Every structure is written in structure tokens, then in C-alpha cells.
A = this chain, B = another copy of it.
Amino acid sequence: MERTLISKIQQKDGQNVLIKGRILNVRSLGNIIFLVIQDYTGIIQTVFEKNAEVKMGETVAVKGLVKKEPRAKGGYELQGEKLEIISPITEDLPFDLARNELNLNINTLLDQRALSLRHPKVQAIFKLYDILLKSYETVMREENFTEIKTPKILGSATEGGANFFKVKYFEKEATLAQSPQFYKQIMVGVFERVFEIGSAFRAEPHFTTRHVNEYISLDAEMGFIQDYSDVIQMLNKVIKKMFELLEKEGQPYLEMYKIKISEVPEEIPCVKLAEIKKIIKKEYGYAIPEETDIDPKGESLAGKYAKEKFNSDFIFITHYPWSDRPFYTMPSSENSRETYGFDLLFKGLEIATGSQRIHTYKQLMENMRK
């Protein structure tokens, strides 16, 4: 008998079906056993009117009759007839996956990751991640960007600084890519618009919520811009489309967390860094420390300001100082200590960074010598 996916059960009312999935819950009421079975398309209750030797977490194949049952989730249940255990468990699960909330401490959550990932609310996070990846790919192609994949084992550090990992490369030493930056810039000379979804590595301890050793970076680079505002407009457009797709396709997962996706403005407000510092001082009485361009508290208050002043969860902070930005960043033509580099904040957290790049060899060489 061919397998029926749980999401298709309602089309088989009154028929015998075979389902395959994992036991999410087992309850006994006298001689009756209620099994909650989950496959990747949904959940169904199965009733056995005899003893069924089965435990939570086991993988099973169940044959049974589909019956209307108004009290069941989805309106149907399965009257179980035959149960085969495909993969038995060898010890009891360390926690109850059938609970609405896992409520585990982070050590248990991560130590038992193969199991905690199976909880619907944890699954939801990775489903949203999947949709985000899909939306980025889709949107970038719509905007005529070509997808590239660039090397991750490099001869030297891309972004400078000290936060790179060293790899033993046969008899030599290599470094792991901190970003695809120079490859992207080379590829603009080839395809004008390119994007990459790839691993980036940063040798930074995980001591804040803003640092990770490795992550998937959504990168893009485009040529023939007038100035940095073209890049800002493109990023605005891409983020807007991504959030719209996330809202459309991610609804069941967002609902689990009662999250309403933010509306992305047609034009996200832009404020210069020097200006936002003054505003934060004036409006919220907080002086951003001199030694940083903007600190986490400053970003958070910039997010607050964006919400209060522009009713926007997003804000671009522009014109970062020359001293804090990489050598390929275009200096401002009005103030050489500032650049056409920017960050995008979402609810007070940096989610993207960008800039206009220097596009002539002469200026680039001069800038490298400064």
C-alpha cells in the first residue's frame, strides 16, 4: 500500500490508508491507546482499541481507517489496524516533545539538539530560515543578479583585522574567508550584478548575541551605481520583497510565536551617523562612547528613534567614519573623514552593512596608502 501524507488524510475519508511518521504522544484510556503521529506535512491522532506496544519518539508505519472526528485537530482521526515499528527507541526521550512549549535550559536544548529540533516551535525557526533563503535567491534573480560561489580557503585575510581562522593547508598556512568581498568585486567586472549565499568565518568568541564563529552570509555586489543611495535603494527593495515573502509563506510558523512581520517602508529613513549621535544624546540623554562608531545601546536607541519619529522598524545609518571602514569604501566628497558606508538596523540591531566602493585604481591605491 502506498503511503498517504498526513496532510492528505482528509481526502481519504472512509478509506484504508498507510501513514508513516514519528510518535509524538502516547496516551492510554483503559484498553484504548491514543497515538499522536507526526510526519513532515502534519499531525494526526490514531486510536488503537487494543494494546499497542509503542513509545514516544519511535518511528512507525500505521495502517488504518480514516474517520471523521469533530473533536480531533483537523477533523479526522485514524482508526488504527496495524502498527509496524520502523525504528525503535533504545531509551526514553529526555523531554516531552508533545508539550506546547519545550521550556528547556539552553544546555539541554543544544546537547539534545537532534531531538529538540523536532519540536514544532523549533522546527518553525528552521522553516522560516528555509523561506528566507528561498526569498533571497528569488529576489536577487528577479533583480538580474547572477549567483556565484567563491573560495573559502584563502591565502590571506579578506577583511584584515585579527578575527580570522588559520587552516593548515598542506605545507602552508591559509585563512578561512571572513567574507567574499574581493571575489564579489572581481565578479562585478564580469556580470555587473552578483550575489552569493555562503559560509563566512570570524574568529570571535560567542560572548555577545552579535558574534558567531561561522554564519551564512547573504552577499551582493552591483556595478554602475550613481552613488551609495543606489545600493541603499536596492537593499531596501530586496528586504521589502523578502519580508513580504516571509509573511506570505511563513504564516503558520510566525503564528506559533505570535509574530507580525514588520512592514518595510518604500523608503527606509536614512540618517547620518554624526547626526544620529546628536539625536540620541538630545532625545534619550545617552552619549555614545567616543571610541566606537556606534555601540549596541546606541543602535538600540537609533531603532527606538526610527520607530517614534518615522514609524519604521528599519533605519539606515550612513556616512560611517573613514577610520572604521575598509580601504575600498568611497570617502564622502563633502567630508573626507566620512565615507559612503552605511548599516541597516532592524529594531535597533544591525542586519546589513554596505557602501559605495572606490571604482578607480588610482584612488584605491591612494586610499590603501593612507
- Which residues from chain A sit less than 8 Å from chain B, CB to CB? 3, 20, 22, 39-40, 59, 86-90, 113-114, 117-118, 123, 126-127, 129-130, 133-134, 137, 141, 144, 146-149, 151-153, 165-170, 176, 186-187, 189-193, 197-199, 201, 203, 205, 213-214, 216, 224, 359-362
Contact = CB atoms under 8 A, between A and B. Distances in A.
- Most chain B CB neighbours (cut-off 10 Å) among A40, A133, A153, A199: A40
Given A87-B360, A167-B166, A126 B40 contact: no
A2 to B, nearest CB: 10
Contacts of A216: 149
A250 to B, nearest CB: 13
A359 B205 contact: no
Contacts of A148: 126, 129-130
A165 B165 contact: no
A193 B205 CA distance: 33
Given A130-B146, A153-B214, A205 B86 contact: no
The 5 closest A-B pairs by CB, nearest first: A40-B192, A117-B190, A114-B186, A20-B224, A130-B147
A168 B169 contact: no
Q: Summarize A's interface: helix, strand, loop or mixed.
A: mixed
A147 B135 CA distance: 12
Nearest to A195: B130
Contact of A153 (B169, B187, B201): B201
15 contacts: A22-B189, A40-B193, A59-B359, A88-B361, A117-B186, A118-B190, A123-B190, A129-B148, A130-B148, A134-B141, A137-B137, A153-B213, A166-B168, A167-B168, A168-B168
A189 B224 CA distance: 47
Given A117-B187, A165-B167, 4 more contacts: A126-B146, A126-B190, A126-B191, A129-B149
Contacts of A88: 360-361
A151 B215 CA distance: 8
Contacts of A20: 224
A134 to B, nearest CB: 7
Nearest to A19: B224
Given A127-B146, A141-B134, A149-B133, A86 B190 contact: no
A232 to B, nearest CB: 18
Nearest to A361: B90
A87 B359 CA distance: 6
Nearest to A185: B114
Nearest to A362: B90
B201 A199 contact: no
Given A90-B361, A190-B118, A199 B199 contact: yes
A3 B198 contact: no
B167 A176 contact: yes
